[in-house]
Amino acid sequence: MKILVPVKQVEILDEDFEIHDDGRRVDSDYIEHELNEWDDYSWETALQLMEKHEGAVEAIPMTVGPDGADDVLRKCLAKGGERAIRVWDDAMEGSDPIAIARVIAAVAKREDVKLVLAGTQSTDHGYGQTGIATAALLGWPHVAVVSELDYTPGSEKATVRRELEGGVEEEIEVPLPAVLTIQLGINEPRYASLRGIKQAKSKEIEEVSPQDLGIPANEIGEAGSAARVRRMYVPERGKAELIVGTPAEQAKRLIEIVNELKGA
């Protein structure tokens, strides 16, 4: 069976940055990139299934992005897996989670996967929608914020646990194929060995366009998005208070604030 693991190359902002002239994004000169933290855990989940059921499972990382996004795929392949898929076309610029989900769903169908393991959300945009939207487009059941997964390849069902408020957990049996969004802490992601890093350089990354997947132009990019960024700006200062002074003064003010909030 195949497991598809969509991973994202997220943006990391520097402490000081500038908004781009178009007013809708941060100037790219101030952005660094790395693998989305949640996707590290979802990829590790897939690797553990692959290792536990050697030969029965193929895990495939995929991403949506220009060629710089190969970095995150190589990071995944350095830990395991034999091939990856990257989907991009310049027309995809401005895609929201729904548009991205269309691409993931198309790849899932093309690869005939039984399981999609996505990160619960991304560290940069935090929509938390991409995985769920993928499930909706595929018409598959989904479980979000999975903190434990018990699955045997060949089985028609997986058992998962998910976190709820107040420390409560629920256990769910979900039929496959399914989409699961994976929570932080489900496992301990491994570090890639030096040998793995070297080997990853020669592993295949298939570049695919949305057209190759049969996705029409009006379903990707801004044209295919239900939401678009109108404006990005640094907000005016709100209720935050900068507590200044000597440590003793700061401690006194902190105590005052705590007492005010407690109504003392």
Partner 1 sequence: MQFTALGDWLSSQEGSFNIHVAAAFHEVADDEQRQVLEASLFATPRARLRWAGEIYTPPSILEALARRDEARLNLRLARHPRTPGSSLLRILRVSDDPGILAALAAHPNSPAQLLRDLPWGQQPPIRSGLAGNPACPLDLLYTILPETTMVDRKRMAAHPAADGALLQKLWEVAGDDVYLRGEVIANSACPPGLLAAALASDVPLIRRKLAENANVSTQALITLLRDPVPEVRAAAARQVPSEAFEDVDCEDFNTVRRIKARRHDLPADLIAQLATDSDSWVRRWLARNPAVPAEILAALAKDPEREVRRGVARNPACPTDLLFQLARDPEPWVRAGVSFRTDIDEDLIALFEHDEEIDVLSGVGRNAVTPPEWLERIAEHANADVRRSVILNPRTPRYLLRRLAEDPYPFNRVCLVKHPAAPIDLILELLADAEPQVCFTAATMLVSGGRKAARKQEAASSSEWKACRRSQVTNSEISGENAHENPCAG
67 contacts: CB under 8 Å, gap ≥ 6: 86, 88, 207
Least distance between partner 1 and beta carbon 79 (Å): 9
Q: Which is nearer to partner 1, 78 or 143 (CB)?
A: 78
Least distance between partner 1 and beta carbon 17 (Å): 9
Give me the amino acid identity at 11. E
Q: Give the Cβ contact number of residue 154 at 10 Å.
A: 11
Tokens of 63: 């991403």
Q: Which is nearer to partner 1, 185 or 245 (CB)?
A: 245
Q: Which is nearer to partner 1, 13 or 56 (CB)?
A: 13
Least distance between partner 1 and beta carbon 40 (Å): 14
SS3 121: coil
Cα→Cα distances 181→106, 132, 135, 203, 256, Å = 18, 8, 10, 26, 42
Residues that bind partner 1 (CB under 8 A): 14-16, 18, 28-32, 78, 190-197, 244-246, 248-249
Cα gap 154→111, rounded to integer Å: 17
Least distance between partner 1 and beta carbon 252 (Å): 8
Q: Which is nearer to partner 1, 194 or 240 (CB)?
A: 194
